Structure formats: C-alpha cells, structure tokens
C-alpha cells in the first residue's frame, strides 16, 4: 500500500490496525487511480468516519475472538475499552451501517470459528464450546443450527465426506 501511495505522490500517515490516513483531499482522478491500485491487493478505501469505525469494530471483535484471555470478557466492555466510545454509540453506528447488530456479527464470527475448528482439529463440541466461552454445548449447537441450518455434527460429517471424496479423486 505504501508503495502505491508513494507512487501516486499522496501524502499519508500510518495508523494502527493497518489503517492509513490520507492527509489531504484527493482529486477525483488520483482517488480513482488509488482505488484501482489498491483493489488488486484486496484493500478497500473507507470514505467516511462511521464506515471506518464499523471496520474497526469488526477487526476488534475478530481480535477478541482470537485471544483466549479476551474471549471471556463481555463484548460491550471489550469494544468500549479498545475503541474509546460508549457501547451504545458503537452499537448504533454498527447497526446504522450494516443493518445488523454487533451481537449478530459476533454470533456469525463465532460460528465461522466453530466451522474451522470442526474441520481442522479433532476437538469435541464440549471443548469448542469451552474455548469460545459458550455457556453450554446446547447453546453452541442452537446458534450453529440457527445460523447454518445444520447441527454441528451434521456439518462435521458433511465436511469429512467432502474431504474423503476430494482425497479419493486425487488418488485416481
């Protein structure tokens, strides 16, 4: 990103979490050239502060869910502490921009992690529920089924069959 910004002679400053602040208003042509240059790297340009805050909320939630010690904390407290805004403000901005709640986003991300753990590791549902701070296996199973339409064990069976079939086709 830095290389592309320098190439287009755009003044910028680096921030945390991979954010860059462009220090001056860009002409339309330069902005379009930057958009095209960064798109090839999968980088998005966020135009407004609320959009940027939503992105920071999502990144902070991912950070929290990947940190064993942070997973046990309340999402509202963690976000407020990390982002220095009240949770009600963060929740309002998130809902306004995504048409969904922070709580729903957390559930979706947790279900994604459950899917990864079911596919990649030989953990039991009890271990996964504990690892992700679910109150019980039935709570995890309920959220998983509501989100994916499958029970965790059905999902795991399907993925094992899919993996076995792909290995068989490689062997031929």
What are the tens digits of pLDDT across the range 46-76?
Answer: 666 788 899 899 999 999 999 988 888 899 9
Instruction: Provide the pLDDT for residue 5.
Output: 79
Burial of 69 (0-12, 13-18, 19+ CB in 10 A): exposed
Which tens digits make up the pLDDT trace of 132-154? 999 999 999 999 999 999 999 99
Out of 36-40, 70-74, 76-80, pick the least confident.
36-40
For 153, residues 6+ apart whose C-beta sits below 8 A from its C-beta are 125
Under CATH, which number does the domain 101-160 receive?
1.10.10.60
Per-residue pLDDT for 18 more than 70?
Answer: no
């Amino acid at each position: 990103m830095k290389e592309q910004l320098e190439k287009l002679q755009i003044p910028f400053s680096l921030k945390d979490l991979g954010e860059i602040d462009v220090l001056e208003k860009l002409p339309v042509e330069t902005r379009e050239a930057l958009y095209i240059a960064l798109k090839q790297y999968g980088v998005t340009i966020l135009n407004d502060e609320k959009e940027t805050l939503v992105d920071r909320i999502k990144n902070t939630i991912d950070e929290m869910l990947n940190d064993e010690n942070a997973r046990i904390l309340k999402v509202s407290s963690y976000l407020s502490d990390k982002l220095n805004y009240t949770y009600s403000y963060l929740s309002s901005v998130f809902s306004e921009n995504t048409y969904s709640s922070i709580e729903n986003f957390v559930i979706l991300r947790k279900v994604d992690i459950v899917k990864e753990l079911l596919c990649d590791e030989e953990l039991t549902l009890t271990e996964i529920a504990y690892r992700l701070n679910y109150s019980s296996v039935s709570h995890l199973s309920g959220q998983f089924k509501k989100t994916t339409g499958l029970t965790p064990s059905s999902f795991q069976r399907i993925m094992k069959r899919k993996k076995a079939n792909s290995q068989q086709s490689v062997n031929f």
